[in-house]
């Protein structure tokens, strides 16, 4: 199995910074379930945040995961593998945290994407 992240990555072009995404559905409801389903919602939210910039998940160069319970890591890794299917995968950091802004949130993710350099 290939790694779910790159140890380092060079990016060119404009950068898009995605603020921390939490498991909120488009209607504002919280995906109140397990960390796996919350992670899926978070990745859908990242996709939606990137789209107005002409970017998608393959443009990610750095991802930071904030996870409430390290015991959820295996399930979250499964979701990462479902969504980040391109190579190279982004550099990433995962941090277990004691809490997030809403106690129902089990995961928050922020990201940086790099758009391709314009053709000359």
Task: Give Cα 39 distance to the centre of its chain.
Answer: 8
Domain ranges of the chain: 21-111
List the strands of the sheet with 107-114, edge to edge.
15-21, 107-114, 60-67, 91-96
Pairing of strands 15-21, 60-67: unpaired
pLDDT in tens, 16-69: 999 999 999 999 999 778 999 999 999 999 999 999 999 999 999 999 999 999
Please provide the CATH number assigned to the domain covering 21-111.
Answer: 3.30.1330.40
CA gap 69, 75 in Å, rounded? 11
CA gap 114, 17 in Å, rounded? 9
Residue 13 clears pLDDT 90, i.e. is over it: no
Check residue 42 and give its pLDDT.
98
pTM of the prediction?
Answer: 0.90
CA gap 56, 3 in Å, rounded? 20
pLDDT band at 116 (very low <50, low <70, confident <90, very high): confident
């Amino acid at each position: 199995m290939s790694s779910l992240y790159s140890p380092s990555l060079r990016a060119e072009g404009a950068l898009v910074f995605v603020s921390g995404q939490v498991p909120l559905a488009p209607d504002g409801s919280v995906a109140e379930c397990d960390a796996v389903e919350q992670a899926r919602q978070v990745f859908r939210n990242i996709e939606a945040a990137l789209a107005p910039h002409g970017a998608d998940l393959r443009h990610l160069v750095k991802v930071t995961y904030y996870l409430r319970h390290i015991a959820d890591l295996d399930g979250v890794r499964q979701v990462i593998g479902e969504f980040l299917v391109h190579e190279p995968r982004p550099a990433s950091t995962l941090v277990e945290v004691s809490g997030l802004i809403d106690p129902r949130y089990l995961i928050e993710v922020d990201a940086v994407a790099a758009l391709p350099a314009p053709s000359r």
